[in-house]
Amino acid sequence: MTAKTLYDKLWDAHVVRVDEGGASLIYIDRHLVHEVTSPQAFEGLRLSGRKVWRSDANLATPDHNVPTTDRQSGIADPIARLQVETLDANCDYFGITEFKMDDIRQGIVHVVGPEQGATLPGMTVVCGDSHTSTHGAFGALAHGIGTSEVEHVLATQCLIQKRSKSLLVSVDGEVNAGVTAKDIVLAIIGEIGTAGGTGYAIEFAGEAIMALSMEGRMTVCNMAIEAGARAGIIAVDKTTIDYVKGRPYAPQGDHWPMAVEAWSDLHSDADAEFDKVVHLSAATIKPQVTWGTSPEMVIAIDALVPDPANELDVVKREGMEAALAYMGLQANSPINQVMIDRAFIGSCTNSRIEDLRAAATVAKGRKVARSVKQALVVPGSGLVKQQAEAEGLDQIFIEAGFEWREPGCSMCLAMNADRLGAGERCASTSNRNFEGRQGQGGRTHLVSPAMAAAAAIAGHFIDVADLDSLSTGAE
């Protein structure tokens, strides 16, 4: 038998049929559903008189549009409210389990799936959202789809797909203290670029990746799409299995040992060949901050904002100049002197319990700088919120001057009321720093939770390690 990559194993295990032209019909084990990309798919089913093929393979929750403040009074925006109500009605009608807005299990779909054990090793997982790549952290083949494909999965439990090429990104050795999963993935994107993974499924590997917790692995896979790849995957090991065990949708009883046995093969064979291989040395990675309007425009916290004059490629140089103008930054200025207006800790990249713990460790006993207008903490799900409150993290945040919110996407894309004003600068733990992403004219800098908390305290970007030597003036 020839050696296989993890991607090959996952793909081969899900092929239903291959047609003459080479397009494959792939079986989908788990379909996650949210309010924004599903209404038209359900409507399509109704119009054509089709049924949901396997309602138990679907799991739904509203996330993009939900308010993160007072839930009692419902959603103020009537159009957003109708969208969430439509999801509720569709799930009820088609018999799909949904964690509704008032359910403690509600949250960002990419936080909820793994938390429930609804994302399992060896699965194919899809959702009408590009950050579905997150679920690849479990050794699952997971990617985002459009609404027509949402309808296709609902009706047939399958998708028509073409095999991707394989890219191995290996982060070798150990990271230094204070360097997190977010810094690793930003450094990877800085290295390979936002189109570096286009057409590939990326397998993340190496000591630094396998040393990460599941939360950290999800952060890395979440941003595979920002490197141009629809899917990111990580091999299954003890960390994966320990995380999954005992979760509500995880295999129970006799099924558990069967599943663990089956999952033991979910890694690339030692001599498997990849179409492309990239190595990074973990020890060289420092805490990262993006400076521009694309995730690849990223530098270390102790670096200077790059100078377009040093860029030889004309298209790139123009892109850098436009980004600096939009971001209101000077070339060659130290990034750690850039002042922020707001901080946002949340999103499907960084709103899990470990992310909140990391931010709380920084916030503890300190105060948000007076110059910062708002520092938001938005947990990824109701259960994350509950856990954080049980650990007293909410009190740490509130005492430090952060706002403690209800779970949802929030300021990650600003579809609800949480958003940046024009020209406002934000230290954000989300995944996209595109123009206008967090509000028209808003300026987003992507960072880790610890770095976002540190920036909120200092009022400007700062290496967490330097926070102690700083007099915040807040006492």
Partner 1 sequence: MMKAFTKLTGTTIPLDRANVDTDAIIPKQFLKSIKRSGFGPNLFDEWRYLDHGEPGMDSQNRPVNSDFVLNKPRYQGASVLLARKNFGCGSSREHAPWALEDFGIRCIIAPSFADIFFNNCFKNGILPIVQSERVVDALFKACEATEGYQLTIDLATQTITTPDGETFSFEVDAFRKHCLLNGLDDIGMTLQHVEDIKIYEEKRRVQAPWLFV
Contact flag: residue 413 with ligand SF4 (CB under 6 A): yes
Binding mask 380-419 for partner 1 (x = CB under 8 A): ---------------------------------xxx----
Distances 58 to 50, 83, 207, 356 between C-alpha atoms, Å: 16, 18, 34, 28
Give yes or no for residue 63 binding partner 1 (CB under 8 A).
no
Q: Which of residues 331-360 bind ligand SF4 (CB under 6 A)?
A: 347-348
- Burial class for 145, CB neighbours closer than 10 Å (0-12, 13-18, 19+): buried
CB 428 within 8 A of CB 341: no
Taking CA atoms, 436 is separated from 419, 423, 424, in Å, by 10, 10, 11
Q: Does residue 113 bind partner 1 (CB under 8 A)?
A: no
DSSP letter (8 states) at residue 57:
G
Does residue 264 belong to the site contacting partner 1 (CB under 8 A)? no
Of residues 35, 98, 129, 341, which one binds ligand SF4 by CB under 6 A?
129
Residues 6+ apart with CB under 8 A from 49: none
Cα angle: 142, vertex 146, 149; to 5 degrees = 80
Q: Which is nearer to ligand SF4, 292 or 346 (CB)?
A: 346
Quick one: which of 31, 131, 385, 405 contacts ligand SF4 (CB under 6 A)? 131
Nearer to ligand SF4, 8 or 115 (CB): 115
Taking CB under 8 A as the criterion, the residue among 198, 333, 395, 472 binding partner 1 is 198
Single out the residue of 59, 80, 186, 446 in contact with partner 1 (rule: CB under 8 A).
80
Which amino acid would we find at residue 84? V
Nearest to 194 by CA among 224, 172, 170, 231: 224
The reply to whether 258 sits near partner 1 by the rule CB under 8 A is: yes
Among 108, 150, 324, 356, binds ligand SF4 (CB under 6 A): 108
Taking the complex as a whole, how short is the minimal distance between the CB of residue 431 and ligand SF4, in angstroms?
5
Question: CA 271, CA 102: separation in Å to the nearest integer?
Answer: 49
* Token pair 């509203």 in the structure block, residue: 62
| Positions 414 through 443 that interact with ligand SF4 (CB under 6 A) | 430-431
Identity of the residue, 143 or 267, whose beta carbon is nearer to ligand SF4 in the bound complex: 143
Q: Which stretch binds partner 1 (CB under 8 A): 80-88, 169-177, 184-192, 278-286?
A: 80-88
208 CB neighbour count, 10 Å cutoff = 24
Residues lying near ligand SF4 in the complex (CB under 6 A): 63-64, 108, 110, 129, 131, 347-348, 409, 412-413, 430-431
